[in-house]
Structure 1
Amino acid sequence: MKIFLVNPPFIEAYGQYKAAAKVGAQPQMPLGLAYIAATFEKMGHEVVLIDSDVEEMSVNDVIESIKNFAPNIVGVSSTTPIYNSASMILESVKKYNPEIVTILGGNHMTALPQKTMEENSSIDIGVVGEGEETVEELLSAIEKNKSFEKIKGILYRKDSKIVSNERRGAIKEIDEIPLPARHLLKTEKYKWSVPDKGIVTVTSITSQRGCPFKCIFCGVNTMFPGATRYRDISKVVDELEDVNKKFKIDHFMFCDDTLTLNKNKVIEMCDEIAKRKLKITFEGYTRANTITKELLITLKKAGLVRLSFGIESGNPEILKAIKKGITTDELKRAYEWCDELSIETRGSLMIGHPFETKETVDESMKFVNSLKCYQMYVNVTTPYPGSELYDLAKENYGGLKLLTEDWKEYRRYGNAVMEMNDLSADNLIELQQKAYKKFYFRPHIIWYNLKRAGLKAGFVNSLAFMKTMFTKKRN
């Protein structure tokens, strides 16, 4: 069969803020869809995989590509902010050819399966949770015209009714999943600014699935419930080596929720990279309380050049309220270690938590500006479906008031879907801009980022960023 997979347009969701979103969100390979594509190819199907953003395709462009390919199946993966784009694609597909089977998976479908199916009749089948085993069974049933009733992890339509099957458990042997189908993507378009390298091609990779932490704003435990599962380290390094040789890519982004969660696994990986004499660099996400200076030294020797930390707040009580499980002292220490070892750092701050006030936001701004950090993302806290925060917001926890469930409004830049205590939605948007200005409009930060991106690219990016920061929201 012919299968068309698409990662919907993301940047367009930000409207006037898309310049800042493009600067802030370096293009990241849709790893989940690439795994699904590999599963389909293993079964012998013909697959097209489109990443709309990196190919700068609008919804209309995607539809034209679908018409040209004439697939039997169209599959879309969607988070909440891009659900509107995903929905537009699926609706257009059904108008073009009602016989095409449409499938929606990803975080949004997993968080709100019944609601999503009820609200969008253009979805034939919903896939909940990890999809690789599910879609393999599903495609086999479609090919053989068999019933879906025993396929775990799906919702489907039968006799004008929505049938919701039992959820599938976590995939235990993640090493058995075929490697991502990178060859279907335009890998050369995933360009990042990398320390000591300049602008280079980067690809995403993972060594684990799942997260043991319970931050209230995160929905990862809805998508990947249960214990964290690890890939065999030799197979992770096999993939690094294979991609390096086939695609000439030598910088990797580890998409694990916490790269340093299992120190022994990390050390084993570093040793294997050294043993094979791989000339690569890499980066990843981590937590301040899962690293030591010794571990950072080991990582740096293996090729680590950058770590991203979730800071979220500089107020100790709010950190407790959001179940972050770290302290401001741990954050300070982590940034100091990285600075001493010349490991570049990024941070992410969220404003608009439960119990948040103007005073606590100001405290957070002062805290992030005190850190040895040169790049910061400032997000308006958004209660995504699947997170504990989504439920708490509807219960007015910590002074929260949920303003809308219009999913296209659920974006990080220039918009707020909650208000709390003495902070209105407009206050939060203004404070986001203020936080960015206070962090980035410091001489040493400006100079660092201009040098890092290259003076020409840095200047262009800075102009786009400043235009956004000085533009008031338009309704």
Structure 2
Amino acid sequence: MRNRLLLINPWQTYEKSLESEYQSYIPYGLACIASIGVQQGFETKIVDCLEDETKTETDTHVRFGKTPNQLKQIIEDYEPNIVGISSTFSMFEKDATDVACLVKSVNSSIIVILGGVTATLPQIYEPLLEQYDVYDIMSRGEGEKTFQELLENYDSVEKKIKNLSSIRGIAFKSEGKIFTTEDRPYIENLDELPFPAIDLLDINKTLKNKYYSRWRNNPKDKKSIPIFTSRGCPYNCCFCSVHSQVGFRHRTYSIPYVIALMKKCIDEYGINHFHFEDDNLTFDVQRAKQLFREVGKLNISWDTPNGVRADRIDDEMAQLMKEAGLVSLSIAAESGNDRVRKQIIHKNLSTDSIINAIQICDRNDLPCIVFFVLGFPGETIDDIRDTIKFAKEIADKYNTINMIFIANPLPGTELSKIAEENKYFTKQMTNSDYFVAIRSNQASIIETENFNKKIIFNILREELDNDEYSVHNVAQPMFWAENEVAWSRAKKAFPKSSNRKVIWEWKE
């Protein structure tokens, strides 16, 4: 019998007050790891707990996805030698740990490997290794080559992975001590990697799930899927957590590789809309333009949910994007104040570049979504008002769709470190707090001598609660000018949007 690898995307648990945040997704990272399992000759299976629409409630919490009994039965029937568990978001660490406990309860000899951001940041994985005996190995950072080496060192006779101390990019516990091996270099030639094993997912069940990608700007009657054409970002925004996983160096898949993967998704799964999830899709301007020329031949639509840099947009780029099927372009402006953007956020981007990119979108009748973040240590009330004023001005002049977030001190970020050092945290953070942190109408997570979140909320209400703007979702305010052109573009980007008036309500 071949060795068996089981990869699990855990269920997700929310406090009841936050259950509306939930949306299921395609576990793209697990599909990438699964392809390595297949390549190494392991019988490989993915269990995506979130493909199920099951919802389990207690008095205080809601869990989405397969139940423990359902997952236990799958583990018992499959009898895996190795189980890999994905923990992409630190706020769901407890769910991943519950799954690991379940695996070990079925068979304590199963080797359990945790991957994702939870397994990468020492402030998270070290306490887990100290507290629990259910994790055998933490796979830190980019996972494919690490997993390949782990599988290569699996001894099917002794039922163990050997030579752990010589495998780069992992952490493990031995004889009561935690060992962290040398960091693994990031993969330079991404084309070496096999295509994600999407065939091991029940993709049709996922796409039909009523929770799937429900807060994304998905076009109607489309089958949507995420895709990556590059990894890494050379910039250093203080709130961004991606570098722990994919590093600063910008690395790209070749355009033929990307197009071949897209064609496979189109031909085999009927995909006709792609979310380009790159952290810096247009960093290499000439490559991006050539990519969009090739994407334009596929007769699909697409969007950029993570936002692109404004200083990488010109008229030719915008035209190529639109001709290639771009539904909406997201631009990460972050702030309307130059000082905040450059000195506090460390985003080396000028206001002129932002305005230029927005004007280009407007000229090309391309829906433009602009991201802003408020509430950074070092910001003043006047700075915050500058950003809101700027957002209103571009909405009025260029019909942008503006989204406003509150700074979220994710583990491992400079923002978190600054808040910790200056005692700006209002409480000891829990998993749920990272959801609350980003919402404009709930309790402050960061308070400085200059502001707290309730002050920010009241300013937003003062500036936006009027007939000049259509505002959607006060928890994460999105707004555009109340005019025909803006509404037309908003409907292209967010087909489900309505003109229902929101209630500006603060929740303690």
User: Which interval holds the TM-score relative to the shorter structure?
Assistant: 0.7 to 0.9
**Residue number in structure 2 paired with 1:346:** 369
Ranges in structure 1 where 5+ consecutive residues have no aligned partner? none
Which of 338, 342, 362 is the equivalent residue of 2:385? Answer: 362
What letter corresponds to residue 170 of structure 2 in structure 1?
I
| 3-state SS, counterpart of residue 33 of structure 1 | helix
Which of 68, 73, 76 is the equivalent residue of 1:68? Answer: 73
Higher relative contact order (CA 8 A, sep 6+): 1
| Displacement after TM superposition at 1:115 (Å) | 3.8
State the alpha-carbon separation in 2 of the partners of residues 286 and 450 from structure 1.
Answer: 18
Q: Does 1:390 align with 2:416?
A: yes
Tell whether the 8 Å contact from 2:341 to 2:349 is kept in structure 1 after alignment.
yes
The 5 A counterparts of 1:268-417 are 268-274=290-296, 277-284=297-304, 285-320=307-342, 321-371=344-394, 372=398, 375-396=401-422, 400-401=424-425, 403-411=427-435, 412-413=438-439, 414=442, 416-417=444-445
**Residue number in structure 2 paired with 1:18:** 19
| Displacement after TM superposition at 1:268 (Å) | 2.0
| Displacement after TM superposition at 1:254 (Å) | 1.1
**Residue number in structure 1 paired with 2:176:** 160
State the alpha-carbon separation in 2 of the partners of residues 155 and 439 from structure 1.
Answer: 41
Cα gap change, 1:249 to 1:187, in 2 (>3 Å): same
**Residue number in structure 1 paired with 2:5:** 3
State the alpha-carbon separation in 2 of the partners of residues 96 and 471 from structure 1.
Answer: 45
State the alpha-carbon separation in 1 of the partners of residues 242 and 65 from structure 2.
Answer: 31
| 3-state SS, counterpart of residue 154 of structure 2 | helix
**Residue number in structure 2 paired with 1:47:** 44
**Residue number in structure 2 paired with 1:29:** 26
The 5 A counterparts of 1:161-200 are 161-188=177-204, 189=207, 190=212, 197-200=219-222
State the alpha-carbon separation in 1 of the partners of residues 447 and 130 from structure 2.
Answer: 28
State the alpha-carbon separation in 1 of the partners of residues 335 and 379 from structure 2.
Answer: 10
State the TM-score, normalizing by the size of structure 1. 0.86
Tell whether the 8 Å contact from 1:212 to 1:228 is kept in structure 2 after alignment.
yes
| Displacement after TM superposition at 1:129 (Å) | 0.7
**Residue number in structure 1 paired with 2:58:** none
The 5 A counterparts of 1:90-101 are 90-101=100-111
State the alpha-carbon separation in 2 of the partners of residues 297 and 452 from structure 1.
Answer: 17
Ranges in structure 2 where 5+ consecutive residues have no aligned partner? 55-62, 465-472
Q: Does 1:126 align with 2:142?
A: no
State the alpha-carbon separation in 2 of the partners of residues 109 and 432 from structure 1.
Answer: 37
Q: Does 1:106 align with 2:108?
A: no
| Displacement after TM superposition at 1:13 (Å) | 3.4
State the alpha-carbon separation in 2 of the partners of residues 454 and 55 from structure 1.
Answer: 25
State the alpha-carbon separation in 2 of the partners of residues 383 and 426 from structure 1.
Answer: 17
| 3-state SS, counterpart of residue 149 of structure 1 | helix
Matched residues, number: 459
| Displacement after TM superposition at 1:212 (Å) | 0.7
What letter corresponds to residue 75 of structure 1 in structure 2?
G
Tell whether the 8 Å contact from 1:208 to 1:230 is kept in structure 2 after alignment.
yes
| Displacement after TM superposition at 1:403 (Å) | 3.4
Tell whether the 8 Å contact from 2:231 to 2:278 is kept in structure 1 after alignment.
yes
Tell whether the 8 Å contact from 1:222 to 1:387 is kept in structure 2 after alignment.
no
| 3-state SS, counterpart of residue 318 of structure 2 | helix
What letter corresponds to residue 344 of structure 1 in structure 2?
P
Cα gap change, 1:155 to 1:197, in 2 (>3 Å): closer
State the alpha-carbon separation in 1 of the partners of residues 131 and 217 from structure 2.
Answer: 46
Cα gap change, 1:185 to 1:470, in 2 (>3 Å): farther
What letter corresponds to residue 16 of structure 1 in structure 2?
S
**Residue number in structure 1 paired with 2:470:** none
State the alpha-carbon separation in 2 of the partners of residues 206 and 287 from structure 1.
Answer: 16
State the alpha-carbon separation in 1 of the partners of residues 174 and 405 from structure 2.
Answer: 41
Which of 197, 200, 211 is the equivalent residue of 2:233? Answer: 211
State the alpha-carbon separation in 2 of the partners of residues 14 and 431 from structure 1.
Answer: 28
Further displaced range: 118-127 or 228-237: 118-127
Q: Does 1:470 align with 2:505?
A: yes
| Displacement after TM superposition at 1:344 (Å) | 2.0
Tell whether the 8 Å contact from 1:31 to 1:180 is kept in structure 2 after alignment.
yes
Tell whether the 8 Å contact from 1:193 to 1:453 is kept in structure 2 after alignment.
no
| Displacement after TM superposition at 1:206 (Å) | 1.1
Q: Does 1:440 align with 2:468?
A: no
Q: Deviations over 1:318-348 (max 9, x none)?
A: 1111101112232222122112212222232
State the alpha-carbon separation in 2 of the partners of residues 194 and 404 from structure 1.
Answer: 31
| 3-state SS, counterpart of residue 122 of structure 1 | coil
Cα gap change, 1:111 to 1:454, in 2 (>3 Å): closer
Aligned-CA RMSD value: 3.1
Cα gap change, 1:268 to 1:327, in 2 (>3 Å): same
| 3-state SS, counterpart of residue 200 of structure 1 | coil
Q: Deviations over 1:22-51 (max 9, x none)?
A: 5xx7x5433222101111122233333344
| 3-state SS, counterpart of residue 114 of structure 2 | strand
| Displacement after TM superposition at 1:247 (Å) | 1.1
State the alpha-carbon separation in 1 of the partners of residues 415 and 127 from structure 2.
Answer: 18
State the alpha-carbon separation in 1 of the partners of residues 65 and 292 from structure 2.
Answer: 45
**Residue number in structure 1 paired with 2:451:** 423
